[in-house]
Amino acid sequence: DAYQLGDLLVDQYKIKQGQPYLKYAADKGNAKAALAYSRSLSTNVMVLGPQEHEYAVKAAKLGNEDAMLTLSLSRNIFGDRDVFRSALLNKLKEKAAQGDADAMRKLSILYFGTSKEVDWKKKAAEYGNATAQHELARYYEVGKGWFFIPGKREKEVKRLYKASAEQGNFRGMEGYASILLREGKKEKALEIWKKMANTGDAGSIIFLAAGYLNATPRITYPEKDEVLGAAYSKIYLDSMGTDKKQSLYEIYKEDYLEAMSHLSEAQKEQVNDFAKEFLKTHTVRVLR
């Protein structure tokens, strides 16, 4: 339908192509489409634009909690923030009391910058919210929070990243893979990176491509493999548009062409075959 097509195109950075489909579905009363359209209009991370606000309100009035959350934060400068905030607070507190981990995480966002933020994040993580688990792991990893027993902080960081990773949260998987790599468990880290790429997530695919191409000096693992590096690069380049992150797309393209220039005709064929097979069974888009 129009929403799904528009959403896919926006997630592939073909934003201008996707927006009319999202707007059409939003105007027909699809709350998710209204929020997706609102987000696709964002040009300033600090404040909502007028049309961005208009469609977030439309989504919120259709009962979308994520839209209500967007309108409850400081980016909303349109004078209706407190209305949405108080309605959402009541709704989330009721759900949190029933053990809803997603509601707990949203409360942590509403209480950003206060002691309640961390309290709700801890609760959400404890109740199994994968995003809260990775956020809390990161919070501890950068030295925040109190740990009196030596080594306890590192153990808790690893436990939280692992719990988040096991639920398929990309940032949790990245964090856990980094720990495994530091521990010398290289193959296990590579398994996680491959698993992430196999979801079709564009960011994970280009990360794996850069890994195989050893695109930055600090990458020493996996071992350089220009066929696989070029193949994953091709998968990204053939799927993604340039309405967003265009300069990065150009860098990825240069890396791809550079790698291809080193390959024999038979190897180039391998690259094309690998990419073609992958794209038969995977839809590539930004999934985070």
pTM over 0.75: yes
Cross-strand partners of 285 = 201
**Confidence at residue 221, expressed as pLDDT on a 0 to 100 scale:** 82
Every domain of the chain and the residues it spans: 1-79, 198-288
CA atoms of 203 and 214, how far apart (whole Å): 16
**Confidence at residue 51, expressed as pLDDT on a 0 to 100 scale:** 98
* Angle, alpha carbons 237-193-189 (nearest 5°): 150
**Confidence at residue 215, expressed as pLDDT on a 0 to 100 scale:** 75
**Confidence at residue 220, expressed as pLDDT on a 0 to 100 scale:** 73
- Per-residue pLDDT 10s for the chain (288 aa) are 999 999 999 999 999 999 999 999 999 999 999 999 999 999 999 999 999 999 999 999 999 999 999 999 999 999 999 999 999 999 999 999 999 999 999 999 999 999 999 999 999 999 999 999 999 999 999 999 999 998 999 999 999 999 999 999 999 999 999 999 999 999 999 999 999 999 999 999 999 999 999 877 777 788 999 999 999 999 999 999 999 999 999 999 999 999 999 999 999 999 999 999 999 999 999 998
Cross-strand partners of 201 = 285
One of 1.20.144, 1.25.40, 1.10.287, 1.10.10 is the CATH number of 1-79, namely 1.25.40
